[in-house]
Amino acid sequence: MPAGELRYPSPPENSTTEISAANDEEWLWSQIKAEARRDAESEPALASYLYSTILSHSSLERSLSFHLGNKLCSSTLLSTLLYDLFLNTFASDPALRAATVSDLRAARVRDPACVSYSHCLLNYKGFLACQAHRVAHKLWTQLRRPLALALHSRISDVFAVDIHPAARIGKGILFDHATGVVIGETAVIGNNVSILHHVTLGGTGKACGDRHPKIGDGVLIGAGATILGNVKIGEDAKIGAGSVVLIDVPPRTTAVGNPARLVGGKEKPTTNEECPGESMDHTSFISEWSDYII
Amino acid sequence: MPAGELRYPSPPENSTTEISAANDEEWLWSQIKAEARRDAESEPALASYLYSTILSHSSLERSLSFHLGNKLCSSTLLSTLLYDLFLNTFASDPALRAATVSDLRAARVRDPACVSYSHCLLNYKGFLACQAHRVAHKLWTQLRRPLALALHSRISDVFAVDIHPAARIGKGILFDHATGVVIGETAVIGNNVSILHHVTLGGTGKACGDRHPKIGDGVLIGAGATILGNVKIGEDAKIGAGSVVLIDVPPRTTAVGNPARLVGGKEKPTTNEECPGESMDHTSFISEWSDYII
Amino acid sequence: MPAGELRYPSPPENSTTEISAANDEEWLWSQIKAEARRDAESEPALASYLYSTILSHSSLERSLSFHLGNKLCSSTLLSTLLYDLFLNTFASDPALRAATVSDLRAARVRDPACVSYSHCLLNYKGFLACQAHRVAHKLWTQLRRPLALALHSRISDVFAVDIHPAARIGKGILFDHATGVVIGETAVIGNNVSILHHVTLGGTGKACGDRHPKIGDGVLIGAGATILGNVKIGEDAKIGAGSVVLIDVPPRTTAVGNPARLVGGKEKPTTNEECPGESMDHTSFISEWSDYII
Amino acid sequence: MPAGELRYPSPPENSTTEISAANDEEWLWSQIKAEARRDAESEPALASYLYSTILSHSSLERSLSFHLGNKLCSSTLLSTLLYDLFLNTFASDPALRAATVSDLRAARVRDPACVSYSHCLLNYKGFLACQAHRVAHKLWTQLRRPLALALHSRISDVFAVDIHPAARIGKGILFDHATGVVIGETAVIGNNVSILHHVTLGGTGKACGDRHPKIGDGVLIGAGATILGNVKIGEDAKIGAGSVVLIDVPPRTTAVGNPARLVGGKEKPTTNEECPGESMDHTSFISEWSDYII
Amino acid sequence: MPAGELRYPSPPENSTTEISAANDEEWLWSQIKAEARRDAESEPALASYLYSTILSHSSLERSLSFHLGNKLCSSTLLSTLLYDLFLNTFASDPALRAATVSDLRAARVRDPACVSYSHCLLNYKGFLACQAHRVAHKLWTQLRRPLALALHSRISDVFAVDIHPAARIGKGILFDHATGVVIGETAVIGNNVSILHHVTLGGTGKACGDRHPKIGDGVLIGAGATILGNVKIGEDAKIGAGSVVLIDVPPRTTAVGNPARLVGGKEKPTTNEECPGESMDHTSFISEWSDYII
Amino acid sequence: MPAGELRYPSPPENSTTEISAANDEEWLWSQIKAEARRDAESEPALASYLYSTILSHSSLERSLSFHLGNKLCSSTLLSTLLYDLFLNTFASDPALRAATVSDLRAARVRDPACVSYSHCLLNYKGFLACQAHRVAHKLWTQLRRPLALALHSRISDVFAVDIHPAARIGKGILFDHATGVVIGETAVIGNNVSILHHVTLGGTGKACGDRHPKIGDGVLIGAGATILGNVKIGEDAKIGAGSVVLIDVPPRTTAVGNPARLVGGKEKPTTNEECPGESMDHTSFISEWSDYII
């Protein structure tokens, strides 16, 4: 690790290649419709659901806005209001739509249980919470904070996924299972990150400023891991399930345990493969770890 | 432990003694109605709820189907559709109904906070999620997978309990508190198992095949335990709260810690009482453990 | 630590200074309305929500009862019934209202992400679950147990916060993020306590009697901590994130790890500042801890 | 008819005998509860409905407020808001409650199809529309006109009964079947009046002032009758079904036909029995009429 | 009129030819599904609705029960309860199902605006109110009167069609437009009758006994007609729009006006074609009538 | 009738003066917002409703689409779907929006009970049914007939106003009270027409072709009037309440009675003022009529 410069989360950018992003989106949408059509044919009991959520819509953004509006509404925040809000936000921001496409691909490629794009679009609470968060985040940056916080609250109630609207999240993100994820106000997450359920990116409680973790590109964070404070998790690092991390983790290394230590030792930690956030290898480091500990 | 043969999860079987199962069900149902009637009399504010969910129904399966249909419905998956689905599935499969009866008994016997059968039937999200899962699992085995996955998604949203519809679960199961439980696609759970909240039976992320834990009969898994990979937790084993288990655990032994180790040591682990899944003793091993660690 | 007498959770008492409590409540309510009015003006999309939940009401208790009734209702437990129940309970018990005020202050003071009182009132699931629990607890003490348990179940479904209605909770409580909190039947929590998400105050599973933790005043419990059995966590103690605590923790000390040990050692544990439950310092003990462990 | 002085609608007054009115209300409420209890026992499918609407409430006004709140709510006018509004209005005005009692008695005594008080309370849209109107009227007199009109609109949508909130209505009123009733802004209806469905008390369209009919005590208006303009229908008069009335009708006479004429002739019209509004005799004048016309 | 024997409403009978009725039902159901499939293909925005109401169901009775359950439910009478009630009633009574089939045919044949069977099934409030009435009537005859009356009330609220559950109605009935129809307790309607909107079959108000009209087979009743008292409208008679009928009308004659008189005169009334209830000729008698009156 | 050329309903045209129409719309919208703001301030209980329906929207078409979507939705036709449909239709057709503006003005000017534009927009079922009909009519002309009919059905259920989607309706229309209005498939209504409740523009039942009334500009039709068959009601004609009209009515004349005759006699009928549809004079012809009849 010559430099240790972390490739920190790239700021969300407007796609410079909007045309190809649009093509991507179109291709994916046609896939999703084909999947939904096939499912509707084979399962009449689900056809109504598939038509209302997917097949009656003319674009991915409309389908997603409809689905989120109906999932997140309450008796005091009507589905029509939320639908409008989602649709207007997605429609006006190609970068948001490109992130949606990346996230769908991430789930499809990385999660063996993800049988189709439409399955993710309809059923993955992590995916849905993340898309709704992106809208809340956009509202936050537009200083529409009370609305962003109300949306945040609905996401936390409905999906048990609690991402502060100020948190910045890259694209190609997989929140797998997702229940219990908590991500604090000043957290930043890079691209191509995979985060399992019950993961906390929490604050230190001491200060009001920048107090939450920064997660580099390609990181994999195992189930139940708790990362606290303004620490840096370097690119392509891995955090073992159930770890409690209070220290920086260099790029391409693995931290495990409570409190977490680096696999291979602080001085010469073992180096990971490329992008564990994509390969999703949770356990190949078991033997090393066991050796290390016992 | 002469042989170490694990009594692995018995496959769900059609009850050979259907008559007695039916009797059982009938007896339990009459208990539940008596409880609900008593509660309705003493608490008028709850009477409407008790009549609609229990007292207006002619059988346990109808009551349960009604309750699940109303709990799991959404604006795009109507309660009438779900009610129909649950009722048809329970009505056509005595083994499902027998498992419901076993689970009700398990909660009543093992959980000191479970004051009555009706309390469990109405209020235990772990119980309700498990019954709904059994229906999703049946749909999965009938290759009605999109419907199974839609149901899975609703269970995860509503109860924060995420059990893949392919996972096989025995009977006499207690999911205590249940919030945050995640059980992966190829996991198998035996009979008379007790699982606390925030427990993960997760995959390794490496492969598409058989990649989740196998839990033997009579196992007790403490709160927040994370068991990863295709490991075997032998019959009557105990997994301590907060443990991260990446190894096989032999029958009648206890694993604790992060990473988990066997209490008494790898070579001569201490032997558990019979069926901790039923006795629910979470902490008698504390002293041993402390001795072992420090 | 000359005496080690634990200041155990003061029993909830009727405020001896009801007048000043009422003043407090009034002041806070006028703040909340001012905040909501400002937000409604700046964000028309949220104005309807703010009017229905806050601005159309004449008191904090009515607003809260309305909001809880709408959040916790289901197709079989109507919002009107719940609203009535909440309103009658809050209206008849000044101590409950005083606790609400304390909890709102606690969130506002301790949580840097809490931007306003109205934000907490509307959006904090921990706050809302706690207020609803207080009502359920009151019903429990009035021997209206089936209703208390039904309410408990709704709180657990809607907020993924599972507090047994028999549990006794002081005031000035912050449940931060709150998802996944589980608090057992005989648990007791003092005043000015802060509890992060995924915290368990669980039983031992062995007996029916007094089997859950007792948390002293001013305690701070980190995310994902699991405290099991009838143990005492002394006043102003800290429990580290992800800890598994099976032992008593003396006042003003810190316990960390799985299994948890006292920072500074069993014999001469390091002493905390005053009231970590208020200062919310999660991580200043990191260095000490790391030194201790490694 | 010595004088022809019309006993015009007595103004709604505060009951001078509030005590006996309260007794009346109590007796009626105990009757209603007894009926509902009997029905709940004989019909489990309806028990939930009966408990939620009647048996869980402590007074007639609470039951009625609950029922109206749930009937008249919409996605933008929540049941909790309406419940509050109804309850506060009924609770603060004994005259409204006395009118409710009179109307219940009127339906029970005059309508052979009205099998019980609870039947009327739960199922008679005319009764329910009238009670909701009384609340809208009270709001109107308190100059809370936008709210009165919103309520008016809900009553018209839900019950197809359109009574302007300014219209003044006495007590002991039976709106039988009620669908299609339209009563204009300056209409006044006395006590002990019976009005069948599709009846219009309409304006002339010419002016803004007092432009709707005045209906005396004890009047009976047959189905589909249309009475237009500021005309006086004298006490104990009858209006035949399908009549179009554009003229004053003296007390104790009968008007029929399109346009309506007095039975017996303008000069010496036949005299009615006492209070046709109570005896509900729609057709005994047939022969006279036929003789008159043909 | 040689005989004058009225063919009075044949009592609803159990079909002696159940097999052919079942065939009929099956054929019609396959038609309806084909129509719905075609519409779903051409109109994606409606596909979800068509799948949920028709295409996901295995029989006409299930589709109708689902649709009625969802239309007639309220916050206190859940859709699942009503669905169950409708399904059980239709499933157990072939005569009810045969009447449904006849009514669908009647609408399709007689109403030029009825473009398809599925259009009637989904959208005709007269058809839906009539089917729900048949179930209410069955409950009435089974002495489940409170439930029958609750259903009656829902039908009147939702469809503005008020048919007392005791009223007996034949088959092949068309309620065209249907809004405002009122049919009293002791009314009887034969087969192949067509009734327009705002028609009243009302009582005389004098007595408790048999006090409503008896409508023979094949009768046509025009919009807004009011028929009062226990009068007989003979088979194949016609009642003109807006008529007020207080007298018997012989078979195959036409009554018009307010009060109604026979076209052609009392002594030698003009004779109608066969079954005006089927031919729906409302106005061919205009010239005769005009001649008669003026 | 020297000229007799009926100014028949002008075909709905694309506004040639779209700019001024847009200005009109903008002015009206600003009025409506000002009214709603004033009402929200004076009546907190209604503020939530006013914000959700009016004040949170950026244009009249969005407000109207939102309101109609929420009013007309059902469990199987979601509000989001309807909102989308209304919004897209209004947004793409300036003529529809201009008609909305005309209708709002018509209600405000002609109905003394209409206190404000916002009152009409929110509460007038006749206005709302008419706007929804315009959308259904547009769908009908686009051959999206199943969707048009489904919408028709919802309008009839919710508002008890039954306008066939094929019926052509001009602008500046007031449906006053509106309950029970029925307008058939081939009916045509001109501009500046006022129609009271329970009015039927019905068919003859004989044929499938053009079989409903044609109503000229400026016509006033009184409550409960029934006009049957392909008859022409000339411009500025009046139809008396409760009339049954089966004949053409020349321009500027008045028809009354059952069956309806011309006031002043067939040969020399009395001439009306200009545009009774606007002046709304229902009854000035009473004396003439009475003279004529008696």
Which tens digits make up the pLDDT trace of B101-120? 999 999 999 998 999 999 99
Question: Which of the four pLDDT bands, split at 50, 70 and 90, describes residue E43?
Answer: very high
At residue F282, the pLDDT reads: 62
Give the count of alpha carbons within 13 A of B293, CB side only: 22
Contacts of B43 in chain C (CB under 8 A): 144, 146-147
What's the whole-number mean pLDDT along residues A145-158? 98
Other CB atoms within 10 A of residue F290 CB: 13
- The predicted pLDDT at position E260 comes to 94
Residue E245 structure tokens: 């009928």
C-alpha to C-alpha distance for D52 and D79, rounded to whole angstroms: 14
Amino acid, single-letter form, for residue B8? Y
Q: What is the pLDDT of residue D188?
A: 98
Nearest beta carbon to residue F223 from set D145, D149, D200 = D200
Mean pLDDT over the full length of chain A: 89
List chain F residues with CB under 8 Å of E294: 261
- The predicted model gives B156-165 an average pLDDT of 98
Q: pLDDT confidence of F207, banded at 50, 70, 90?
A: low
Whether residue B3 is predicted with pLDDT greater than 50 in this model: the reply is no
pLDDT band at residue C37, thresholds of 50, 70 and 90? very high
The rounded distance, in Å, linking the Cα atoms of A54 and B146 is 14
Reduced to 3 states (helix: H, G, I; strand: E, B; else coil), residue D118 is helix
Question: pLDDT per residue over D109-118, tens digit each?
Answer: 999 899 999 9
Q: Is the pLDDT of residue A286 over 60?
A: no
pLDDT on residue F266: 82
> Across the interface, which of E112, E241, E293 has its CB nearest the CB of F228?
E241
Q: Is the peptide bond before A259 cis (omega within 30 degrees of 0)?
A: yes
- Indicate the pLDDT class of residue F85, thresholds 50, 70 and 90: very high
Nearest 5 degrees, angle CA F81-CA F84-CA F85? 85
Supply φ then ψ for residue F191, to 5 degrees: -90, 155
In whole angstroms, what is the distance from residue A253 CA to residue A265 CA?
10
Going by pLDDT thresholds of 50, 70 and 90, the confidence category of residue F278 is confident
Whether residue F283 and residue D204 make contact (CB cut-off 8 A), yes or no, is yes
pLDDT at A61: 97
Q: Is the pLDDT of residue E35 over 80?
A: yes
Chain D positions in Cβ-Cβ contact with residue C52 (cut-off 8 Å): 78, 81
Q: How far apart are alpha carbons B234 and B253 in whole angstroms?
A: 8
Mean pLDDT of D155-181: 98
- Over the stretch E5-19, which tens digit does the pLDDT of each residue have? 344 444 444 445 566
Per the structure block, which two tokens stand in for F73? 């939705």
In 3D space, the residue among B253, B195, B250, B190 whose CA is nearest the CA of residue B226 turns out to be B195
Mean pLDDT of F219-242: 96
Instruction: Please report the pLDDT score of residue A34 as a whole number.
Output: 98
User: In this complex, do C76 and B49 lie within 8 Å of one another by their Cβ atoms?
Assistant: yes
Residue A56 has pLDDT above 50, yes or no: yes
Q: What is the mean pLDDT of residues F115-126?
A: 96
Residue type, F256: V
C touches which chains (3+ CB pairs under 8 A)?
A, B, D, E, F
Q: Residue E198 — left, alpha, or beta (φ > 0 → left; ψ -120 to 50 → alpha)?
A: left
In whole angstroms, give the CA distance from residue E73 to residue E83: 9
On chain C, the residues whose CB falls within 8 A of the CB of E78 are: 75-76
What pLDDT score was predicted for residue B5? 39
Residues in B closer than 8 angstroms to F83, CB to CB, are none
Angstrom distance (rounded) from CA C91 to CA C95: 10
Contact (CB, 8 A) for A177 and A126: yes
D142 reaches F (C-beta below 8 A): no
Instruction: Check the CA dihedral F88-F89-F94-F98 and report its sign.
Output: negative
Q: Average pLDDT of chain E?
A: 89
Q: Tell me, yes or no, if E78 comes closer than 8 A to chain C by beta carbon.
A: yes
The answer to whether C78 contacts E78, with C-beta atoms less than 8 Å apart, is no
pLDDT of amino acid C16: 52
CB contact under 8 A, B44 and D51: yes
Residue of C nearest to B244 (CA): C258
Q: What is the DSSP string of B8-27?
A: --PPP---S-HHHHHHHHHH
**Residue E291 pLDDT exceeds 50:** no
Taking contacts as CB-CB distances below 8 angstroms, the residues of chain C near D70 are 78, 80
CA distance B238 to F1: 101
Residue type, C107: A
Determine if the pTM surpasses 0.95. Answer: no
- Shortest alpha-carbon distance between residue B51 and chain E (Å): 11
- Using the Cβ of B185 and the Cβ atoms of chain A, whether some distance falls under 8 Å is answered with yes
Higher pLDDT: F24 or E12? It is F24
Which segment of A106-120, C278-292, D38-52, D235-249 scores lowest on mean pLDDT?
Answer: C278-292
Say if CB C46 and CB A150 are below 8 A apart.
yes
Q: pLDDT digit string (tens) for A66-77?
A: 999 999 999 999
Residue B9's pLDDT band, with cuts at 50, 70 and 90, is: very low
What's the pLDDT score for residue A268?
Answer: 85
Which tens digit of pLDDT belongs to each residue from E149-196?
999 999 999 999 999 999 999 999 999 999 999 999 999 999 999 999
- pLDDT band at E284; cut points 50, 70, 90: low
Q: Cβ(A19)–Cβ(A9) under 8 Å?
A: no
Contact with chain E for residue A49, Cβ under 8 A: yes
φ/ψ of residue D289, rounded to 5: -60, -50
Mean pLDDT of A247-252: 96
Q: Which residues contact A97 (CB under 8 A, 6 or more apart)?
A: A21, A25, A60, A61, A90
Least trusted range by pLDDT, from A103-117, D60-74, E274-288: E274-288
pLDDT, position B207: 66
Q: Which residues pair with C215 in a beta bridge?
A: C189, C233
Q: What is the pLDDT of residue A275?
A: 82
Burial (CB count within 10 angstroms: exposed 0-12, middle 13-18, buried 19+), residue F115: middle
pLDDT at E15: 47
Q: What's the pLDDT score for residue F98?
A: 96
DSSP string, chain C: ---------PPP---S-HHHHHHHHHHHHHHHHHHHHHHHHH-HHHHHHHIIIIIT-SSHHHHHHHHHHHHH--SSS-HHHHHHHHHHHHHH-HHHHHHHHHHHHHHHHH-TT---HHHHHHH-HHHHHHHHHHHHHHHHHTT-HHHHHHHHHHHHHHHS-EE-TT-EE-SS-EE-S-TT-EE-TT-EE-SS-EE-TT-EEE--SS-SSS-S-EE-TT-EE-TT-EEESS-EE-TT-EE-TT-EE-S-B-TT-EEETTTTEETT-SSSPPPP-S-HHHH---STTHHHHHHHH-
* Interface contact A202, partner B, CB < 8 A: no
Q: What is the mean pLDDT of residues C285-289?
A: 52
Q: Which member of A85, A146, A179 has the closest CB to residue C39?
A: A146
Q: What is the DSSP string of C38-62?
A: HHHHH-HHHHHHHIIIIIT-SSHHH
Poorest-pLDDT segment among E16-20, F114-118, F131-135: E16-20
H/E run at residue D233: strand D232-233
- Suggest the residue from A197, A245, A273, A275 to mutate for an interface test with chain B (most B CBs closer than 10 A): A197
Name the residue among E217, E224, E213 with its Cα closest to residue E188.
Answer: E213
Residue with tokens 């009727």: C14
pLDDT band for position D284 (50/70/90)? low
Q: Report the side by side order of strands in the sheet with C244-245.
A: C162-163, C182-183, C200-202, C226-228, C244-245
Provide, as residue numbers in chain D, all residues whose Cβ is less than 8 Å from the Cβ of E258: 242-243, 257-258
Q: How confident is the model at residue E266 (pLDDT cuts 50, 70, 90)?
A: confident
Distance separating alpha carbons of residues B45 and B138, to the nearest angstrom: 37
Best probe of the D interface among F196, F244, F278, F290, by most D CBs < 10 A, is F196
Is the CB of residue E170 less than 8 Å from the CB of residue E176?
Answer: no
3-state SS class at D79 = helix
Burial class (CB in 10 A: 0-12, 13-18, 19+), A74: middle
pLDDT higher than 60, residue D31: yes
Q: Which pLDDT band, with edges at 50, 70 and 90, does A285 fall under?
A: low
Q: State CA C58 to chain mean position distance.
A: 25
Q: Is D61 on the interface with C (CB under 8 A)?
A: no
Q: Given CB atoms, is F109 within the 8 Å cutoff of chain A?
A: no
Give the whole-number percent of chain C exceeding pLDDT 70.
Answer: 88
Query: Is B173 within 8 Å of B153 (Cβ atoms)?
Result: no
Q: What is the pLDDT of residue B208?
A: 74
Q: Which of B110-119, E94-103, E260-269, F64-73 has the lowest mean pLDDT?
A: E260-269
Query: For residue A19, what pLDDT is reported?
Result: 66
